Amino acid sequence: MTGARKLTMAQAINTALRDALTADRSVVVFGEDVGPLGGVFRVTDGLTRDFGEQRCFDTPLAESGIVGLAVGMAMNGLRPVVEMQFDAFAYPAFEQVVSHVAKFANRTRGRVRLPLVIRIPYAGGIGGVEHHSDSSEAYYAHTPGLTVLAPATNADAYALLRAAIELPDPVVFLEPKKHYFLAEEVDVLAPAPPIGRAVVRRAGRDATLIAYGPSVPVALAAAERAATDGRDVGVVDLRSIVPFDDDTVCAEVRRTGRAVVVAEAPGFASVASEVVARVTERCFHHLEAPVRRVTGFDVPYPPPELEGYYLPGTDRILDVVDDLQWDAT
């Protein structure tokens, strides 16, 4: 039996929320404009109509209050799923996330768990103005107590969100907003991938590109172009930033001997930096060249007309691939 159908990522996430609300009465969805409007990206379209204002409702424009409310609900038996509307809008809630969401289980020695999901439309590619495009994953990944997921495909957006809602502990769910309206085949009945498991999107022989979220399609496009130059480049999609799948990533790097990490966020003290460190530590004797990064620049996210210069593209990736000491072998 299959549940495959063509869905945009926004529709896939909407379907995941709808199915979770149907399956579990303790699930509630709330945030800014997620009610009758259906969210600024229409991800929650129809949920208030179909489940009522007790299950999907609007909140005041106060992100700290939204997350604080979710903490109280989760402490009292509900499973809140909250939306931050835009990545950089989440910063006023950061104190709640770091001081309470991430620490309650540890603080109470596991007696109080917080089964809540913080959905964050994130990263660039939509020509957003200030505060409407950012790559904030390193803040969350650096905070012990949080699971941090970054799906790149519509199928993973559905399956990983369903799995995240069922976890007993908090999840930051990063949704690449530039993918919201791209349609792909999604089988809602397919088994969900385990949280914390990366996937090889393209097997390669000569080098491995490691990416997550919005950078995965860019890495795949770069691998396709590299093939025209006679280089067989693979792509690993992390899917989960925390927990991190060392086994899958390192198996591919050990096989190819070369690796490039691709991410939109600035490179300094980033998730990309951590991936480079982990791969170097675990694969040192298999490497034919230093592990490299292709990231956003270490500047504030630029205005829309400069976005194309900031985001890692196929040309930048291929330039780094070309520089991987091919003459050394």
Q: Which residues are catalytic?
A: 132
Token pair 């949920």 is at which residue?
A: 47
Helix (H) or strand (E) holding 149: strand 147-149
Residue 196 DSSP one-character state:
T
For the record, the structure tokens of 29 come out as: 């969805």
Helix (H, G, I), strand (E, B) or coil at 319: helix
CA distances from 142 to 2, 5, 92, 129, 148 (A): 38, 37, 17, 26, 10
Phi, psi of 296 (to 5 degrees): -65, 165
For the record, the structure tokens of 106 come out as: 């540890």
Phi, psi of 305 (to 5 degrees): -70, -15
Buried b (16+ CB within 10 A) or exposed e, 294-304: bbbeeeebbee
Q: Are 272 and 249 in contact (CB under 8 A)?
A: no
Q: Are 260 and 321 in contact (CB under 8 A)?
A: yes
